[in-house]
Amino acid sequence: MSLLEVKELKQHFTIKKGFLGEKKIVKAVDGVSFKIEQGETLGIVGESGCGKSSLGRTILQLIKPTSGVIHFQGRDITHLSRKEMKDVRKEMQIVFQDPYASLNPRSTVRTILEDPLIIHGIKSRHKRMDIIEGIIDKIGIRKDQLDRYPHEFSGGQRQRIGIARALTLSPKLIIADEPVSALDVSVQSQVLNLMDALQKELNLSYIFISHDLSVVQHISDRVAVMYLGKIVEIADVDELYQNPLHPYTKALLSAVPLPDPAQMKERIILQGDLPSPVNPPSGCPFHTRCPQATPECKAEIPELREKSMDHWAACIHVQPGQKQSIRTSIS
């Protein structure tokens, strides 16, 4: 049984435009399916506006999905009431992008960390403090800093406090929504190493949402590439980075700067902008920018298919078994 299984998840937002209220539908997440096991990290990459964050929030039921099913520990959590959902929330938590916006500026660190425990009915103050002290010890915040306010901390410290808050309820799954993209590079690695260490110690699963391909490569076991609300490719991290199948993944990877410019492949420059999710292209959503697009791409929506062992891509031009490479094993 997978820890989390998402099937055909859709998140459509209705927006009104103009005075007459013409209704438009934004398909932020449009039929996403994947599984994640205990202790595993799934990286989700894509451009701004491709629906990565909406996907994270939908899994957490911060926004109710339009359709689709989310199984968490084998239980369908899509139709739970707020009260029923409360128990599930102990098991899955979120870490946000902006460490300045994700902590209440008027609460001390102690309150921020204690609140989740109060909400979940741990009545003994003594017990709460025990839990908090155990966690801050792991994330490198000192006990005498507990009564300070968020603005007294640096960005990296604040992000660690955000991680500590997510950990207070000892969850199994943490959805990290661009957790390091607001931080300096030196601090990024600190936070990533911390997340790595915590994963090993607590056997956590992460859904790691990011637009930074290097960061995702570093932390993930498996990676899903999203484009306009759909997963276009999903595979183990080494397989995906060494043998990308989908033209979009290829374009993304060709844009990653390498330390040695001689090793850089020729960059695939995509033409145009990300199409509006209000009015997505017909057929394959990527055909408007795809260098390999043919007339069939306009007509047919490609399904996500297993092209080689555990390597799925949604492109009609990628034949199964094509470009098989020796799979490098991952830990």
Q: Which spans of this chain sit near other proteins (rule: CB under 8 A)? A: 57, 60, 62, 82, 85-86, 89-90, 93-94, 96-98, 101-107, 115-116, 119-120, 162, 165, 169
Nearer to other proteins, 159 or 243 (CB): 159
92-95 vs 173-177, strand pairing mode: parallel
Least distance CB 240 / other proteins (angstroms) = 29
Least distance CB 47 / other proteins (angstroms) = 21
Q: Centre a 10 Å sphere on the Cβ of residue 48 and count the other Cβ atoms it contains.
A: 9
d(CA 234, CA 125): 45
Nearer to other proteins, 23 or 106 (CB): 106
92-95 vs 305-308, strand pairing mode: unpaired
| CB neighbour list of residue 104: distance below 8 Å, 6 or more residues apart | 111, 112, 150
Least distance CB 139 / other proteins (angstroms) = 16
Nearer to other proteins, 28 or 237 (CB): 28
- Give percent helix, percent strand, percent coil of the chain, each to the nearest 5: 35, 25, 45
Least distance CB 156 / other proteins (angstroms) = 17
Q: Whose CA is closest to 180, among 204, 145, 215, 206? A: 215
> Which element (helix H / strand E) includes 129?
helix 125-139
Least distance CB 184 / other proteins (angstroms) = 19
Nearer to other proteins, 62 or 278 (CB): 62
Nearer to other proteins, 35 or 90 (CB): 90
Least distance CB 177 / other proteins (angstroms) = 9
Least distance CB 107 / other proteins (angstroms) = 8
Q: Centre a 10 Å sphere on the Cβ of residue 289 and count the other Cβ atoms it contains.
A: 19
Nearer to other proteins, 120 or 323 (CB): 120
Nearer to other proteins, 102 or 243 (CB): 102
d(CA 325, CA 190): 33
For the chain, the C-alpha Rg in angstroms (whole number) is: 21
| CB neighbour list of residue 49: distance below 8 Å, 6 or more residues apart | 274, 277
d(CA 285, CA 204): 34
User: Are 184 and 19 spatial neighbours (Cβ–Cβ below 8 Å)?
Assistant: no
Least distance CB 101 / other proteins (angstroms) = 4
Nearer to other proteins, 21 or 295 (CB): 21
d(CA 187, CA 153): 13
